[in-house]
Amino acid sequence: MRRLVRLALPTVSVLALAMIGAAPAQAIETGSHDQGHSLVFNHQAHPYGQSMATWTERWWQWTMGVQFAHNPGLDPTGADCAVAQPGGHVWYLGSTFNAASATRSCSVPEGRAILVNLSGTLNDYPCPFPGFEPAPGQTLEDFLAAGARRAADGIDELTLTIDGVEVSGLFEYRTATHLFTFTGDPTMHAIDPCVAGTAQLAVADGYLIVVKPLPRGVHSLVTTAHDIAGNALTISYTITVT
């Protein structure tokens, strides 16, 4: 069985920590602080005219398109936080592909919302794994979506705190995309052996948040994730809005 590109939980040689094929665990969240909702866009919102599914696609296109050596998802300190940032209203934060924790510092321009992928899975095609093909009569989208869904089902705890305020209801933010296209940097083959360096098809499933623009100054953003296999992750960002 091929390994899916999975972020936000540690693993040896990339991902698929959600124990594919296991029954979904009960969604558990720690704490409940409704005031945190004012800091993020609602899960049904269309921030800056785009759906959460579109933002999910764009986040994956960005993170897989950055070379391995300077990929924000592999950066232990935040030094690569600004690498390949797109223009516009939204700043993309890197998650992590290869560590149980990360502590990073990042400067974000004033007026930019912040896109945070708490935990997510990318299932991409084609891939040089024997038998990695849709079943007869199954569409490619259904095939990829099923694998991504099984992986995302394994997340059983998520938290997000912004300046010490916890955002509740995070499991409402789960988003699955339709089939979309991305082009991975060839060096990201080290993370995903399916990356070919050319346009490929994929489906993503996971938990994505868009934090509303923060005021000038220094802010704390901390995320945690846990899955049914017992894997846990904490990412701490010190964000300076300039």
Give the containing element (helix H, strand E) for 218.
strand 217-227
Tell me the average pLDDT across 118-123: 96
Report the pLDDT value the prediction gives residue 73, as an integer from 0 to 100. 93
CB contact at 8 A, 67 and 77: no
Report the pLDDT value the prediction gives residue 3, as an integer from 0 to 100. 55
The answer to whether position 22 is within a domain reads no
pLDDT for 194 beyond 50:
yes
Which of 20, 18, 68 is CA-nearest to residue 193? 68
The answer to whether position 231 is within a domain reads yes
Give pLDDT tens digits for 133-154: 999 999 999 999 999 999 999 9
Report the pLDDT value the prediction gives residue 37, as an integer from 0 to 100. 87
Helices (H), 46-122: 52-65
Q: What is the DSSP letter of 52?
A: H
Report the pLDDT value the prediction gives residue 27, as an integer from 0 to 100. 40
The answer to whether position 57 is within a domain reads yes
Give pLDDT tens digits for 14-60: 333 222 222 333 343 434 446 688 999 999 999 999 999 999 999 99
- Positive or negative torsion for Cα 88, 84, 186, 74: negative
When divided into structural domains, the chain yields a total of 1
What are the tokens at 195?
């990356």
The answer to whether position 19 is within a domain reads no
Please state which of the ranges 1-15, 153-167, 170-184, 189-203 shows the lowest mean pLDDT.
Answer: 1-15
Which of 76, 97, 100, 70 is CA-nearest to residue 14? 97
The answer to whether position 97 is within a domain reads yes
What Rg, from alpha-carbon coordinates, does the chain have? 17
pLDDT for 63 beyond 80:
yes
Residue 160, domain extent? 5-13+27-241
The answer to whether position 101 is within a domain reads yes
CB contact at 8 A, 63 and 184: no
